[in-house]
A and B are shown apart, each in its own frame.
Chain A
Amino acid sequence: MRKIVQVVLMATLTMSSSMALAVSPKETLNIALQAGATGFDPAKISDFYSLQVVENIYDPLMTYDYLARPYKLIPNTIEAMPTITNGGKTYTFKIKPGIYFAPDSAFKGKKRELVAADYVYSFKRMLDKTINSPQSYLVEGQFVGMDKLEKAAGNGPLNYDTQIEGIKALDKYTLQINLTHVNYNFDTILAMPSFGAVAREVIEANKANTNAHPVGTGPYELKEWKPGSKIELVANPNFRKEVFNFKGNPKDPVSMKVAKEMHGKIIPQVKQVNINIILEEQPTWLAFLNNQLDVVKIPQPALRDALVMNPKNPTDVKLAPKYADKGFHLQPVKQLETTFYFFNMDDPEVGGYTPRKIALRRAIAMAFPRNETIARIRRGQAVPVEYAIPEGVAGYNPNFKMGVHFNPAKANALLDAAGYKIGPDGYRTQPNGSPLSVQLATGSTAIDRQWNEYWQQAFDSLKIKLTFKVGRWSELAKANREGKLQMWGMSWSADYPDGQNFMQMFYGPNKGDANFSGFNLPAYNKDYEETLKLPNGEKRQKLYDKMNRMLAQYQPYIFDDTRIWNYLAHPDVYGFKPNPLTTYWRYIEIKK
């Protein structure tokens, strides 16, 4: 009998120890993304979905305080914030010793420590023509001596062994960056996930597909990636010891609660992140309600079901009682973004800077029922954009109003005054009598159709023919770069919380990169260049106001709205406080 008990006990112990090695459900975070990642090489990607994963695998030098609002930059892999000398042109970073990359065969069984040379290599990669980084514009022309190195490489790969003054390792742990000119946002640029450190030996060992083989020093490593289906991350066993010590804001009870819940806990508490790619909104919502997802961004169609809105202000929301009773946490977050439609300023019909061309664009802007789309499509969970820089970003001016009213009657009168006469077929012609037709680029989803119906109504009210160019995002982006689109809608989210990141979208020389419309007004360009020499302050703000007025007057863009994302978490999720500049995965805990 005693032997039997011993056997049973042994079996139980064996089972429990083997279970302890596996990740238990309470240590697993299940979430959904609306689109698949395109890859995980920080120099090669720029899409929102891939960057979220990359942020958790690689470490930039700095990151954002999880709870601080306004957003605050803090050291990540460095001992303290950089020392800035030489009139703001030299940045010196001291990297913390004892930070290790996740295990990889390229390291031949040895633990590989993060050193300053890794950042030198990683930053140079951003400007390697053979990599063709979509984020290269952020550091193009910034590093002293980099132009010479790029020129020497021609269209081939850079010689990474050539030392340059602009990015150099002074010793094993000291990184020094020398800029060609002062850039007040340089530290925030380096905090972007794309500027995480890669190990040269890993990149060289996986040259054929660096996107599928990410190895970094971040809290997680890639376990499995099924493109378009799922991504699984597991905790990096070599991750340094980090403790949650963020302070809450007394004015924000949620941040105080999170700070209390998580204080002193080791990061990350979640040992595995399962990212499900769910394209449709209804299955995402149902998966959350069925406990298959721990956190969800409430899909737009479910907003009215999930939220109780203040009749006087729909952005003031509470969770509907049936969900509040289940203990779900609601966290509305106004995004650091502007959504907009833009005109191709080089297009012979809608582009140009003459009063007639401006009148056409202004009339189209005045006919678009922005408040109605906010109410019907966004379900009230967005605010109209009245300034090119959104709230929460340095340089935002809450008192500025773009001044474009929804007024189809006046828009029609304006078109009459500008000479766009109504022809015998009931549609307007151009002032020279030739036919007038505008083409709007669009996707093919049901939500795109909803937007297009409002646009069709707007153009019908102006008696202007509207056609649609339907295509996938990548195809339309290519067509736009080639100047083949007339009008298209998209959004711009802050890469870093400074207005310059938004105002650069309208700077003439950025045409083909972030300047989607090709707007090129000498007066705007001159003022923009002036703002680059100024820190955030009154002088820069005045210039930003003037530049915004130019945008309203010349109407290269129709500014639309800034969305409010309402996150919902199950009651067993602790430490949850969404931050538009950093993911929450590593900072939360799940107690199932």
Chain B
Amino acid sequence: MNQDSNLTLDQEKVETQVPAQSLSSLAWKRLKRDKVGMISLLIVCFYLLLCAAGWMGLVGENWRADVAVPNAPPTFATWEPRGTQVNAVAATSSSADQVDDDNSAAAPDPLAALMAQADKHESQYASKTTTLKDTLILGADGQGRDVLQKAIKGTSVSVSVALLGAFCAIVIGTILGAIAGYFGKWVDDVLMWFYSIFTSVPDMLLLLSFAAVLSRGISTLVLIFALTSWTYVFRLMRAEFMKHKERDYIKAADAIGAGQTRKMFRHILPNVSHILLVQFSILTVGMIKSEVVLSFLGFGVGIKQTSWGAMLAEVPAELIQGYWWQMLTVTVFMSVLVTAFSLLTDSLRDALDPKVS
């Protein structure tokens, strides 16, 4: 073999070389080729924007206002108010307005002086009268609140709870799983024992137990979801860290004097991050469903908030009366996101770990 031929081969190698690409850019390329994945991603992004806009007060802020007559139908529905229905408020309020405060038979009212003062200053609190609409785009609930506004606010709350809950579960599960898998021995035993306690109780029972003890609110729901869902992540991370700590790149890091924390979180963690991303997606979908169940059972968000579950809890009573629009709206809002998130999870798994597909 002469020198010229060697030169030609080297030149060919240089010409066919492609620029080095990171794992994430390769995954992104694969995801872009997946049409279903991209559509799902767009839908999820839209919901995330809606969620953010909700928290910033740009949309859904007026959901508690009574803007229409109770159970006002959607504008698109061909529905006529039944002639036999009664606006019972009008019928009963007049009687209350005419109530006489007959004090003649009793001792003087201990509040007489204060009431006299109140009479003088009552006008400063006079309320504005609003005209209630007969129809709304997606109808009104039993109190005359706009179902669309409620659904948007509900999206904000339900999605936030799910995302934050999933994030917290990932953080707890990853830290504990990494420690158990990396250190092994008695550390692993103690953490496995702790894990077994949580997994020995059925998920829903654990959820309801925490919900019954803790006060109502978004932060409580996030805490409940984090405390009940970290075990899935823990199990996976423990196994991954056990596997990776024996790999050559960790031995090399060991040889150059890298510390334990560095090896765990700078070297191993990036190599298992794709699993976390998929888990995050799966947990988010699960938590959306759990929030609905908890709120439906009355353990969800407080009165000043609404969520998809809280809205669905109102549905059975409305359906008996034939008011279907709140159910339809919340079901569509929820099912679109859950489906999109589930499809995105599949696409992410294929993109991040092509070996499994």
Q: Which residues of A pack against B, CB within 8 Å?
A: 280-282, 285, 299-302, 304-305, 308-314, 320, 353, 355, 358-359, 362, 370-372, 374-376, 379-380, 384, 386, 400-410, 412-414, 416-418, 443-450, 452-453, 455-456, 468, 470, 523, 542, 545-546, 549-550, 553-554
Q: List 7 A-B contacts (CB under 8 A).
A: A301-B321, A304-B85, A305-B320, A312-B91, A355-B114, A410-B119, A553-B111
Contact call B321/A553, Cβ cutoff below 8 A? no
Q: A362 vs B100: C-alpha distance in the bound complex, in angstroms?
A: 16
Contact call A314/B96, Cβ cutoff below 8 A? no
Given A355-B114, A409-B126, A311 and B91 contact (CB-CB distance below 8 Å)? yes
Q: Which residues of B pack against A, CB within 8 Å?
A: 70, 84-89, 91-93, 95-97, 99-103, 105-107, 109-111, 113-115, 117-127, 142-143, 216, 297-299, 302-304, 310, 313-314, 316-322
Cβ-closest chain A residue relative to B85? A304
Contact call A446/B298, Cβ cutoff below 8 A? yes
Contact of A470 among B113, B115, B216, B318 (CB under 8 A): B216
Cβ-closest chain A residue relative to B86? A309
Contact call A446/B105, Cβ cutoff below 8 A? no
Contact call A417/B88, Cβ cutoff below 8 A? no
Contact call B321/A305, Cβ cutoff below 8 A? yes
Contact of B118 among A301, A384, A413, A453 (CB under 8 A): A413
Contact call B103/A380, Cβ cutoff below 8 A? no
Cβ-closest chain B residue relative to A311? B86
Interface centre among B106, B113, B119, B126, by most chain A C-beta atoms within 10 angstroms, is: B106
Cβ-closest chain B residue relative to A382? B92
Cβ-closest chain B residue relative to A402? B99
Contact call B298/A386, Cβ cutoff below 8 A? no
Cβ-closest chain B residue relative to A410? B122
For residue A410, which residues in chain B have a CB less than 8 angstroms away from its CB? 118-119, 122, 125
Determine how close the nearest CB of chain B comes to the CB of A305; give it in whole angstroms.
Answer: 5
Cβ-closest chain A residue relative to B298? A444
Contact call A549/B106, Cβ cutoff below 8 A? yes
Contact call B105/A314, Cβ cutoff below 8 A? no
Given A358-B110, A401-B101, A405-B99, A308 and B84 contact (CB-CB distance below 8 Å)? yes
Q: A584 vs B340: C-alpha distance in the bound complex, in angstroms?
A: 55
Contact call B316/A400, Cβ cutoff below 8 A? no
Given A452-B303, A468-B303, A417 and B320 contact (CB-CB distance below 8 Å)? no
Given A302-B320, A314-B88, A355 and B110 contact (CB-CB distance below 8 Å)? yes
For residue A300, which residues in chain B have a CB less than 8 angstroms away from its CB? 317
Given A359-B111, A406-B96, A282 and B320 contact (CB-CB distance below 8 Å)? yes
Contact of B317 among A301, A384, A523, A545 (CB under 8 A): A301
Determine how close the nearest CB of chain B comes to the CB of A493; give it in whole angstroms.
Answer: 22
Contact call B107/A523, Cβ cutoff below 8 A? yes
Contact call A413/B88, Cβ cutoff below 8 A? no
Determine how close the nearest CB of chain B comes to the CB of A29; give it in whole angstroms.
Answer: 24
Contact call B92/A380, Cβ cutoff below 8 A? yes
Q: A413 vs B297: C-alpha distance in the bound complex, in angstroms?
A: 39
For residue A380, which residues in chain B have a CB less than 8 angstroms away from its CB? 86, 88, 91-92
Interface centre among B91, B115, B302, by most chain A C-beta atoms within 10 angstroms, is: B91
Contact call B304/A456, Cβ cutoff below 8 A? yes
Contact call A405/B97, Cβ cutoff below 8 A? yes
Q: A358 vs B118: C-alpha distance in the bound complex, in angstroms?
A: 14
For residue A408, which residues in chain B have a CB less than 8 angstroms away from its CB? 125, 127
Determine how close the nearest CB of chain B comes to the CB of A456; give it in whole angstroms.
Answer: 5
For residue B105, which residues in chain A have a CB less than 8 angstroms away from its CB? 542, 545-546, 549
Contact call A413/B89, Cβ cutoff below 8 A? no
Interface centre among B103, B126, B302, B303, by most chain A C-beta atoms within 10 angstroms, is: B303
Interface centre among B117, B143, B317, by most chain A C-beta atoms within 10 angstroms, is: B317
Interface centre among A370, A413, A414, A443, by most chain B C-beta atoms within 10 angstroms, is: A413
Contact of A413 among B100, B101, B125, B322 (CB under 8 A): B125
Contact call A417/B117, Cβ cutoff below 8 A? yes
